[in-house]
């Protein structure tokens, strides 16, 4: 019995090694990886955001962008380049990020109330025109667990949006396909004029990640707390 368990364990380890090596090989050959390096960008993920933003012209009138889950900084870098001197980017991540010119970076856990308070202090009663969230949990490989953790992050970002987005502001958030993400999309439709799913070309086909684009935050009767804001009465699930 011990021999069979050892053999099984060895096969699993070999499978992980082969899978890891396959990912490395694919990554090296990836055209978006090569393109990002050629353009001096921090990550291939830039091209996911670029496709969504250009298609829907989300930065056309934007002045203030908040980037959640920003490390290594590709999205912040690209947004700052597009905004140039007419706007500002505020970025946040649990991981460290090398400083970017024109980007105000906060390192910390977005789920922490103290960290979010730092964001509110920097905003100083200003309203964001665009909130982008590429936050994702450490993946376990178990779809139900990964989807639940990703959704928890998405809901926290959504709640933040309702407090900080300007009227008609936009929200882009990463999700993983599943029934719970479909329910989340239905909730978002209550507060935004349009909610559509985007699967950018730079998102690997086998990945279950999708991006939900929520356009045009609107104020619902009885929920407005001020100019261009909404609340969920303290409970995002209601």
Residues recognised as catalytic: 174
Rounded Cα distance between 104 and 119, Å, is 10
Q: What angle do CA 209, 211, 215 make, to 5 degrees?
A: 170
- 58 contact partners, CB below 8 Å, separation of at least 6: 52, 130, 170, 172, 215
Distance of CA 1 to the CA centre of its chain: 46
Identify the residue whose tokens are 């990554």.
27
């Amino acid at each position: 019995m011990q021999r069979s368990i050892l053999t099984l364990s060895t096969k699993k380890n070999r499978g992980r090694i082969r899978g890891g090596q396959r990912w490395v090989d694919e990554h090296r050959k990836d055209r978006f990886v090569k393109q990002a390096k050629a353009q001096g960008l921090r990550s291939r993920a830039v091209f996911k955001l670029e496709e969504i933003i250009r298609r829907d012209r989300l930065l056309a009138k934007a002045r203030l962008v908040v980037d959640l889950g920003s490390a290594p900084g590709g999205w912040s870098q690209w947004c700052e380049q597009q905004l140039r001197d007419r706007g500002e980017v505020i970025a946040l991540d649990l991981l460290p990020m090398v400083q970017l010119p024109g980007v105000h970076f906060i390192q910390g856990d977005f789920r922490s109330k103290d960290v979010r308070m730092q964001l509110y202090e920097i905003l100083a009663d200003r309203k964001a025109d665009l909130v982008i969230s590429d936050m994702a949990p450490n993946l376990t490989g178990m779809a139900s667990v990964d989807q639940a953790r990703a959704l928890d992050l998405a809901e926290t970002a959504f709640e933040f949006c309702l407090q900080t987005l300007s009227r008609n502001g936009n929200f882009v958030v990463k999700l993983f396909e599943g029934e719970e993400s479909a329910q989340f999309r239905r909730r978002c439709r209550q507060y935004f004029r349009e909610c559509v799913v985007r699967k950018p070309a730079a998102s690997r086909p086998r990945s279950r990640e999708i991006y939900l684009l929520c356009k045009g935050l609107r104020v619902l009767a009885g929920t407005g707390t001020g100019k261009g804001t909404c609340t969920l009465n303290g409970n995002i699930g209601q």
